[in-house]
Amino acid sequence: MNIATIAGHLAFGLIAFSFLVKDILWLRLVSILASIFSVFYNWVIPVEPLWIPIGWNFVFVALNLYHIAVIMYEKRPVQMSPKHKELYETMFKNLTPVEFLKITKLADWEHYKSGEIIIQERHAVETLNLIYNGTVDVMVDGKKVAELKDGQFVGEMSFLTEKPATATCVVKHDTELLVWKQEQFKDLLKRNPSLYFTIQSLLSAQVSDALVSSSKRKE
């Protein structure tokens, strides 16, 4: 088996291997290697080089290099405040630092005192809130059904369903929140699919946990 034949097998083998790669950066690198081996094979094996596959493989290499540059740019170290850094490391590690900064730039820090209402049952909800520090009671028909603490969202159900609040959320202890306006946040997520799926996963997980807890209380 000569070198050209080995290059051909490597090209197709790497293409097959790419279907198993989950990390997008490594996927791009594997694709580039497959294209390089394919170019070599199509240059050497025929009597004359096969310019069409060679040309297209160079296009694939260029496209993957562009996407690698974008990925590396988004993964570059960025300056964060201590609060943002803590949130990123505890909740948003699935995002790149640049993606995380995109969502936090839309949010405001707000302080609520004990007894203040964040959202009101059966009223429209215009914000999505993340508890940074504090405690919030969840009330349904005047009865406490749950307690939310650091790292949990307030108003996530309305954000997902676009329906009025199913509960009233009252601050138990002084609480600091990161607050997004729903419309602005949703517009950002629509333009960024990776952000959308990450945020959707976080919110859905909290809703699922709440439903499980509610079911256990009824048993």
53: Cβ contacts below 8 Å, ≥ 6 apart: 38, 39, 42
Looking at residue 96, what is its pLDDT?
Answer: 85
Q: What is the mean pLDDT of the chain?
A: 85
Q: Where are the alpha helices (DSSP H) in 150-192?
A: 156-161, 182-191
Q: What does the pLDDT average to over 118-136?
A: 95
Tell which of 56, 74, 92 closes a domain: 74
Higher pLDDT, 131 or 7: 131
216: Cβ contacts below 8 Å, ≥ 6 apart: none
Mark whether 14 and 118 lie in a shared domain. no
And the tokens for 117? 């209402």
Cα distances (Å, whole numbers) of residue 87 to 96, 109, 133, 216, 219? 13, 13, 11, 30, 35
- Between CA 172 and CA 38 the distance in angstroms is 64
Mark whether 69 and 92 lie in a shared domain. no
Highest-pLDDT range among 32-36, 146-150, 212-216? 146-150
Looking at residue 1, what is its pLDDT?
Answer: 65
Q: Identify any residues that bridge with 108 across adjacent strands, giving them in sequence order.
A: 179
Mark whether 46 and 129 lie in a shared domain. no
pLDDT at 109 over 80: yes
Mark whether 91 and 194 lie in a shared domain. yes
Percent of the chain scoring above 70 in pLDDT: 92
Mark whether 93 and 178 lie in a shared domain. yes
- Between CA 3 and CA 178 the distance in angstroms is 59
Tell which of 74, 97, 122 closes a domain: 74
pLDDT at 46 over 70: no
- Between CA 64 and CA 61 the distance in angstroms is 5
158: Cβ contacts below 8 Å, ≥ 6 apart: 119, 124, 125, 164, 165, 166, 182
The domain total for the chain is 2
Mark whether 24 and 94 lie in a shared domain. no
pLDDT one-digit tens code per residue, 11-45: 777 777 776 676 777 888 888 888 888 888 778 77
Mark whether 91 and 39 lie in a shared domain. no
Tell which of 31, 54, 74 closes a domain: 74
Q: What does the pLDDT average to over 2-15?
A: 76
Mark whether 203 and 98 lie in a shared domain. yes
Q: What does the pLDDT average to over 162-173?
A: 94
Cα dihedral 121, 123, 129, 135 in deg (nearest 10): -20
**Which residues span the domain enclosing 206?**
82-218
Mark whether 37 and 62 lie in a shared domain. yes
